[in-house]
Structure 1
Amino acid sequence: MKRLTATTALICALALPAGAADLKEMTDEERALFRAEVRAYLFENPEVIMQAVDILREREAAAQEQADVSLVTENADAIFNDGFSFVGGNPEGDITLVEFLDYRCGYCKRAHSEVAELLESDGNIRWIVKELPILGEASVLASRFAVAVKQVSGGESYMAVHDALMSFNGDITMPTLRRLGSTFGLDMDAIEARMQSDEVTAEIARTRELASALQITGTPTFVMEDELLRGYLPLDQMRLIVEDKRG
């Protein structure tokens, strides 16, 4: 209803001649005549409807973009310096790319190799990973495992597990994770114990709170500098955004 009302208002603005009286100031007779004229105008110029819809979409997109900039500014410390999220790429890079992801998300898997290529080919991007399991218990299990690996074994082991989980297309179960951990020579007794710890729970909970504050409802979601980028982005588009940020 809100979109319909806004579109109708835009159509009237496009159809109403400059200097015409406000609808509220018209008599019932004048208002009826005006409505008949608008109806006739739209039948003669149906493209006006699409023009109004396009204008409305542009305005809504601009408003959302500005709102997202404000959200990033208000939550900058939690986004860029939370003290626990994995930091990769070039930690001293001039551009920071933050990625909220879920290991069972198809678009996250699709973006994985492209983000890796961006980091390798550019060499000057700081990359922060935010574990945001939103696709069920298997997603939560995978994230608890990854976070536990990071806390117990460090960033290098975390990155190896992260890459493996992003490439894995089967069911994520504890036996699967045990086999994966053994492949990398990890101390699975310590990691399994840590998976159930308050430390892991707190890290994932804080990322969920941040995602809620940023109004993130899906993965992948990226933050690049001051811009919130919702959804999958192909490599070429990411490179253009990086170039734009560098000015």
Structure 2
Amino acid sequence: MLRNLTRAVPALLALAAPAAALDLDAMSDAEREAFRAEVRAYLLENPEVLMEAIAVLDERQAEAAAQGDSAMIEQHAEALFENEGDWVGGNPEGDITVVEFMDYKCGYCRRAFPEVEELVEGDGNIRYVLKEFPILGEQSLMASRFALAVRMLEGDDAYKEAHNALMTMRADVDENSLSALADGLGIEFADVQEKMGSREVAEVIQENYELAQAMQISGTPSFVMGDRMLRGYLPLQQMQQMVSELRAE
């Protein structure tokens, strides 16, 4: 239908205006009105053309957005993939890196949590980077500070245990719940609490805020998968499909 419309336009122009007047701005008022009337009549007779045109426009906009995302990823690759403040799991030598911007109080992050775990563990060749991105209030911020403090004091394994516990914790995030969590991990809460207020912890979170702003990320979960961006939750099967597509490129 779009090709029919393309062929119809010159005919409409021939009826409505001299051959030289191919620009609406170059037409007289009468010619312009006649042209518009012919186009309107065609579209009313063939309304499916509008849907096809919208589909093409959506596809072009999606392609442009993907190209823009790829350029942003390339520009900020070091901060995305190689920041020492971030925990790295999965296969450190994996052929694809997945970066997740997450918030412990985000319902969709919690929903994605077991599926991302299955994606990484089931694949075996994905490098997985966690970005602490607390944007949903004071409890989110406390949880991220706790997790980062644990990593700085006790290392990556302890961080992952804390991360998993925070992702599945039903209680509010406060001093009591974090103290109980620290006890469960065999960590002295007083030490963690002191580290939570440190400049080092604040810097990691601030860097992630700034990176998210540069990457036009405003919600969680948000993922960088190879040279693509995914803003929002995506079921496991679709994430697996994206990984397959990336490997096929």
TM-score, normalised by the number of residues in structure 2: 0.90
Q: Bigger shift: 190-199 or 175-184?
A: 175-184
Q: Which residue of 2 aligns with 1:17?
A: 9
Tell me, yes or no, if the aligned pair for 1:112 and 1:166 is still in contact at 8 Å: yes
Report the Cα distance in structure 1 between the residues aligned to 2:84 and 2:66, rounded to whole angstroms: 27
Q: Which amino acid aligns with 1:154?
A: G
CA contact (8 A) 1:94 1:124 kept: yes
My pick for the range that moved more, 67-76 or 51-60, is 51-60
Q: Distance in 2 between matches of 1:66 and 1:92?
A: 26
Change (3 A) 1:233 1:115: same
Partners of 1:14 and 1:206 in 2: CA distance: 50
CA distance in 2, matches of 1:187, 1:87: 24
In structure 2, distance between residues paired with 1:244 and 1:49: 31
Residue 54 (structure 1) aligned with residue 55 (structure 2): yes
Q: For 2:75, give the aligned amino acid.
A: E
Task: Report the 3-state secondary structure (helix = DSSP H, G, I; strand = E; otherwise coil) of the residue aligned with 2:173.
Answer: coil
1:31-180 mapped onto 2 (5 Å cutoff) = 31-180=32-181
* Aligned amino acid, residue 195 of structure 2: R
Q: Which residue of 2 is the match for residue 220 of structure 1?
A: 221
- 1:99 partner SS: strand
Q: Which residue of 2 aligns with 1:208?
A: 209
SS at 1:18 equivalent: helix
Larger radius of gyration: 2
What one-letter code is carried by the residue in structure 2 that aligns with 1:51? E
Q: 1:1-28 deviations in whole A, cap 9, x for unaligned? A: xxxxxxxxx9xx7596137422112111
Q: Which amino acid aligns with 1:17?
A: V
Pair 1:39–1:15, CA change in 2 (3 A): farther
- Using the TM superposition, give the Cα deviation of residue 230 of structure 1 relative to its aligned residue in structure 2, in angstroms: 1.4
Residue in structure 2 matched with residue 7 of structure 1 by the alignment: none
State the AA in 1 paired with 2:85.
Answer: F
| Aligned-pair Cα RMSD in Å | 1.7
Secondary structure of the residue aligned to 2:60 is helix
Asked whether 1:238 is paired with 2:230, we answer no
TM-score by length of 1: 0.90
CA contact (8 A) 1:15 1:38 kept: no
Taking every aligned residue pair, what percent have the same amino acid on both sides?
50
Report the AA paired with residue 28 of structure 1: D
* 1:59 Cα offset (Å): 1.4
8 Å Cα contact 1:100/1:220 also seen in 2: yes
Paired with 1:189 and 1:14, the residues of 2 have a C-alpha distance of 72
Aligned-partner Cα distance in 1 for 2:62–2:95: 28
- Which letter maps to 2:151? K
Q: Deviations over 1:206-233 (max 9, x none)?
A: 0111111111011111111211121112
Report deviation, 1:167.
1.0
Q: CA deviation at 1:137?
A: 1.2
> Which residue type is aligned with residue 238 of structure 1?
M
Structure 2 unmatched runs, 5+: 14-21
Verify the 8 A CA contact 1:89 1:120 in the aligned structure 2: yes
User: How far apart, in 2, do the equivalents of 1:79 and 1:205 lie?
Assistant: 14
Deviations along 1:182-213, one digit per CA (max 9) or x if unpaired, are 11111111100000010100010001111111
8 Å contact kept, 1:102–1:133 = yes
CA displacement, residues 71-130 of structure 1 (integer Å, 9 cap, x when unaligned): 000000000111120011111222211111001111111111011111111111111100
- What is the rounded CA distance, in whole Å, between the counterparts of 1:224 and 1:212 in structure 2? 18
Q: Which residue of 2 aligns with 1:192?
A: 193
Q: How many residues align?
A: 236
